[in-house]
Amino acid sequence: MLDIIKDQSALILTGIIITLISGLLYTTTTTGFKSGGRYRTKQGAILIYIAAMIFLGLLTPIINELSKIIIELVPILSIFGALIVGVNFVINQRIPTWSHTTPKTLLIYFSGAALIALGYLIHL
């Protein structure tokens, strides 16, 4: 199983990056579709969703090549730390009542940053 993950790590990282980007472009909730900080009509949501699919589809090969470079140059622990920071950011952006500056959120940011640094320290 670990061999499969290692062999496909660039594709996995590509999927993660695409997911994070889509999380910044739009949000779906039980009450509607939100993009750019505003709720959108059904027609607007369809257009934004289609545009996001096309945009991210075109961006995927570029991100995949970038992922291959990242996997080669950046320690895996540092990548994991960066993912924690990125996911924490996206989640806090998507939920309006959550803040980037609460103690728990800051602890998550700090933990991710520590993993980034630790990955490079161990890698040296």
User: What's residue 55's pLDDT?
Assistant: 95
Inter-axis angle of helices 9-25 and 76-94, nearest 10: 20
pLDDT in tens, 31-40: 888 888 888 9
User: What's residue 94's pLDDT?
Assistant: 76
Q: What does the alpha-carbon distance between residue 1 and residue 8 come to, in Å, rounded to a whole number? A: 11
Higher pLDDT pick, 118 / 8: 118
- Name the least confident of 6-10, 52-56, 76-80, 106-110: 6-10
Predicted confidence (pLDDT) at residue 20 exceeds the cutoff of 90: no
Q: What percent of the chain has pLDDT over 70?
A: 97
Predicted confidence (pLDDT) at residue 2 exceeds the cutoff of 70: no
- Three state DSSP letters for the chain: CHHHHHHCHHHHHHHHHHHHHHHHHCEEECCEEEECCEEECHHHHHHHHHHHHHHHHHHHHHHHHHHHHHHHHCCHHHHHHHHHHHHHHHHHHHCCCCCCCCHHHHHHHHHHHHHHHHHHHHHC
Residues 6+ apart with CB under 8 A from 9: 67, 71
pLDDT in tens, 47-74: 999 999 999 999 999 999 999 999 889 9
